[in-house]
Structure formats: structure tokens, C-alpha cells
């Protein structure tokens, strides 16, 4: 996003928040790991700093990388809040005692799936958005190569897509782990791994970040991505020939989450940021930054680019089971041994 556009959006949003947090203008700071798109991270950082006087030290990392950092700094946490990214790593952080139990007074304002995320974690995380997993595809490249739009998971195994698919690495990306967990629940574990071995033949690159594949597809560096479909419209709005689709045979969805870090240095400032991030006005910034997940606050105005969840075939995703550290570790280890080690 151009700086001028960000500036204009920030100006509008800041106006809407003026005076709300004036009492917090004392020199405070909050250290945030942000696992959503850079435009969104930058917007919430700028708006929150301008409206509260709080200095926001923000670092951008994928959810898998974020979890690894929190584990590494467990004895001396440098992070106060972890904002966004797929919910499974947040549940794992809760399970490992990395996040703080906190029952927000705003919980009743949230969709049931967001409240369930909080309850399952012992109130150590909360859902802030949801988004379905699907495929991104470059319309120009598919037309040029005379390839059909993939409509099912099985379609991605077709030989004509060899070298034309990108997906992230599940060891560093929550998006890719969501894909594995979705396929295991959809097909059964052994069949899912047979599928992943077949898919491997068609994958050109396993990227570090979950948003990398759809950015590559938008820019013509690959024809197809496996991505969260809410990442597509923002690329299209920048003029790239990208469309998205959800597989007709069923898919999973992430529950993007937010967690307070146990032992944080700026705990009170962290709680104020957390509460602010659950408000409708704060959640509308996702769409303002061209990110079109479904926000968790029921009072948030919905942008027309947000997917209609009623039209998507969802599996009954077991967030508790697949959010457990042992299950994540086991499935990723199996993927490394049986899939990633194979020649292309």
C-alpha cells in the first residue's frame, strides 16, 4: 500500500478514535508481535500510537516464527502482545504456559467461534478474525498456459500444474499447518499424507510465510497458491490479476487470535491494547488495510469483499485437537520426513 493511502486511512481512523484514550497519554509502550499482513500491522501501530500516546514497538512475523520466538524468550519475555496469525499456534502457546490468562469484559460482544477460542485456551487467547483456506490463481497465467481453474483439492494433483503451485512451509507458517490439519480431517491421516506426497511433485516452492504464495501468484511468479482466501482481494485491488476460490470438497478456516504474553514487561499497557483491538472501530482496520477476514466483534461493519461464510463448504475443524502442541509437532515432523524430504 502506498504511504499516501496509508496516511489518508490513518487520518480518517484516528479522527474516529480522538479522545477515546486520552487518559492513557502518559509515556507508555507496548511490544507487539504482529502476524497479519504488513499493511494492517502498520495501520494499527500508527493509529494506536496516535490515539493513545503509547509507543508501539512492532515486529512482523508469521505465526510459526512467532511461537518459536516466544518459546525462546520464555524466561525473559520481550513481547507483551501477540496479534493475529492462525489460532493453532496461539493455542499451543497457551498450552505451554507462554500466554497470560485474561477474561476480557468484551467477550460477550464477540462471535461464538471467537469466544470458543478463548474458552478452549483457558482464556489465554481470543479469536479476532476468521478466514477460509482455499486457492489463489493468476488468471492471466492460467489463460496463457491453457490451464483450468482448480476447484477441488484433487485438482491440484493434475500433472499440468507441475511447478506452478506455491504453498508455505508448515514449520514456519500457520497457514500451511492449517492446510495439513484440514486435509487430515477431510481425508483421514494416511490418505492425507499420500495426497501431500502427490502435491509435492507440483509444488515449486515452500515459502516461509503463509502470505508469500498468494503474493507470488498475484505477481505472476507462480500460477496457483494455497492460501487464506481473504488475502486475495487486497492484491486484486492493487491491479494484480488474482482470483480466489474455496475447494468444493470442503475446507478449513483459521481463527486468527490474539494473546497476552505471560511475564510481559508492560502488562497494563498490553491489556489496554488488547481491549482496543477487540473494538469494532479497531477491527474495521483490517478491511481498511485491504484484509478481508471476518472480524470477531459482532458490531463491526462488514466490507463487501469479506467472504460469505454461508456459501462455503466447511469441515468440522477440531481446533482443540489440532491446536495441541504435540499434535502440531507430530504432523509437521511427519510432513518433514515423508513429504519435504522427497525429490521433486
User: Residue 136 sits in a domain of what CATH number?
Assistant: 3.40.190.10
Residues 167 and 191 occupy one common structural domain: yes
Contact by Cβ (8 Å): 135, 155 = no
Contact by Cβ (8 Å): 190, 178 = no
If one counts the domains in the chain, the total is: 2
Tens of pLDDT, residues 45-66 = 999 999 999 999 999 998 889 9
Residues 39 and 112 occupy one common structural domain: yes
Residues 90 and 229 occupy one common structural domain: no
Contact by Cβ (8 Å): 85, 63 = yes
- On the CB side of 166, CA atoms within 13 Å amount to 25
DSSP 123-140: SS-EEEEEEEEEEEEEHH
Tens of pLDDT, residues 138-193 = 999 999 999 999 999 999 999 999 999 999 999 989 899 999 999 999 999 999 99
Contact by Cβ (8 Å): 174, 62 = yes
Taking CB atoms within 8 Å and a gap of at least 24, the contacts of 234-239 are 234/37, 234/39, 234/289, 234/290, 234/291, 234/292, 235/136, 237/290, 238/1, 238/290
Burial class (CB in 10 A: 0-12, 13-18, 19+), 318: middle
Q: How far apart are CA 149 and CA 135, in angstroms?
A: 9
Residues 140 and 106 occupy one common structural domain: no
Tens of pLDDT, residues 273-285 = 999 999 999 999 9
Which residues constitute the domain of residue 296? 3-130+254-309
Stated pTM of the model? 0.81
Q: What is the dihedral of CA 225, 229, 235, 239, to 10 degrees?
A: 90
The phi and psi torsions of 243 (rounded to 5 degrees) equal -130, 165
Residues 107 and 229 occupy one common structural domain: no
Amino acid at each position: 500500500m502506498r504511504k499516501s493511502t496509508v496516511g489518508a486511512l490513518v487520518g480518517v481512523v484516528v479522527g474516529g478514535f480522538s479522545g477515546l484514550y486520552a487518559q492513557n497519554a502518559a509515556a507508555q509502550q507496548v511490544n507487539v508481535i504482529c502476524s497479519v499482513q504488513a499493511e494492517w500491522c502498520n495501520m494499527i501501530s500508527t493509529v494506536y500510537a496516535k490515539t493513545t500516546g503509547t509507543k508501539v514497538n512492532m515486529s512482523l512475523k508469521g505465526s510459526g516464527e512467532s511461537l518459536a520466538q516466544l518459546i525462546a524468550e520464555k524466561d525473559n519475555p520481550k513481547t507483551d502482545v501477540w496479534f493475529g496469525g492462525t489460532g493453532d499456534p496461539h493455542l499451543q502457546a497457551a498450552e505451554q504456559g507462554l500466554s497470560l490468562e485474561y477474561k476480557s469484559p468484551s467477550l460477550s460482544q464477540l462471535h461464538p467461534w471467537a469466544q470458543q477460542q478463548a474458552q478452549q485456551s483457558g482464556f489465554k487467547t481470543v479469536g479476532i478474525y476468521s478466514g477460509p483456506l482455499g486457492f489463489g490463481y493468476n488468471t492471466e497465467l492460467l489463460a496463457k498456459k491453457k490451464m483450468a481453474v482448480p476447484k477441488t483439492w484433487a485438482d491440484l494433483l493434475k500433472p499440468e500444474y507441475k511447478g506452478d503451485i506455491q504453498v508455505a512451509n508448515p514449520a514456519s507458517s500457520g497457514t500451511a499447518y492449517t492446510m495439513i490439519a484440514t486435509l487430515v480431517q477431510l481425508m483421514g491421516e494416511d490418505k492425507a499424507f499420500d495426497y501431500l506426497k502427490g502435491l509435492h511433485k507440483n509444488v515449486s516452492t515452500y515459502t516461509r510465510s503463509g502470505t508469500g504464495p498468494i503474493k507470488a501468484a498475484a505477481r505472476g511468479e507462480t500460477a496457483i497458491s494455497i492460501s487464506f482466501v481473504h488475502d486475495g482481494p487486497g492484491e486484486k485491488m492493487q491491479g494484480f490479476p488474482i482470483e480466489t476460490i474455496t475447494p468444493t470438497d470442503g475446507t478449513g478456516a483459521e481463527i486468527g487470535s490474539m494473546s497476552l504474553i505471560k511475564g510481559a514487561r508492560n502488562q497494563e499497557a498490553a491489556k489496554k491494547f488488547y481491549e482496543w483491538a477487540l473494538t469494532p472501530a479497531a477491527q474495521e482496520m483490517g478491511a481498511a488495510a485491504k484484509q478481508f477476514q471476518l472480524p470477531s466483534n459482532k458490531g463491526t461493519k462488514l466490507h463487501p469483499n469479506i467472504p460469505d461464510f454461508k456459501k462455503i463448504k466447511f469441515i468440522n475443524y477440531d481446533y482443540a485437537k489440532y491446536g495441541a502442541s504435540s499434535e502440531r509437532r507430530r504432523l509437521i515432523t511427519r510432513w518433514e520426513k515423508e513429504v519435504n524430504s522427497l525429490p521433486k
